[in-house]
Amino acid sequence: MLNGYFVDQKFIDFVPIFFKNILVEKGRGLQRCLLEPAQPAISGENGSWKCNGGPLYFFHFSGYHPESDAISSHIPDSAARYRLSNRRDLGKLFAQYKELLIINGHEQASCWPYTFGYFKTGEPIPDN
């Protein structure tokens, strides 16, 4: 995270400059994540997830690791506002996501090298 921005958020500021006829979708169940200042109530029933009573379309599990108790590795424990212990509404959602990760081979896939971390020559791209 750099200056309060995370990954794609740095570039979204340029969208109005490079694209015409932009529509901002403001549905409350879209692009939910734990980095937002105001957290919605998440609930699940019969395999259907809701956000403040409406449909939950997408939840951003950024930095989540199924082998950890932390919600996100991107947020230091000392600075974390939310934990599964104080956001019980997220417990079932994270449990279901963890189960799906494990079933779909997370352990094996997490060992794969990052495809775009190298130049065409095979030389690693430095972090800085």
**Measured between alpha carbons, how far is 42 from 95 in angstroms, rounded to an integer?**
13
By CB atoms closer than 10 A (0-12, 13-18, 19+), residue 50 is middle
Domain boundaries, the chain: 29-109
Unique residue bearing structure tokens 């169940």: 29
Q: Tell me what pLDDT residue 59 has.
A: 83
pTM reported for the whole predicted model: 0.69
Q: Which residue has the higher pLDDT, 123 or 34?
A: 123
pLDDT tier for residue 9 given thresholds of 50, 70 and 90: low
Q: Tell me what pLDDT residue 108 has.
A: 95
**Measured between alpha carbons, how far is 40 from 17 in angstroms, rounded to an integer?**
31
Over residues 109-121, mean pLDDT: 89
The answer to whether 51 and 41 have CB atoms below 8 angstroms apart is yes
Q: Which tens digit of pLDDT belongs to each residue from 54-105?
A: 888 888 888 888 888 777 777 777 766 667 777 777 888 888 999 999 999 9
Long-range Cβ pairs for the range 50-56 (8 Å, 24+) = 52/28, 54/27, 54/28, 54/29, 55/29, 56/29, 56/32
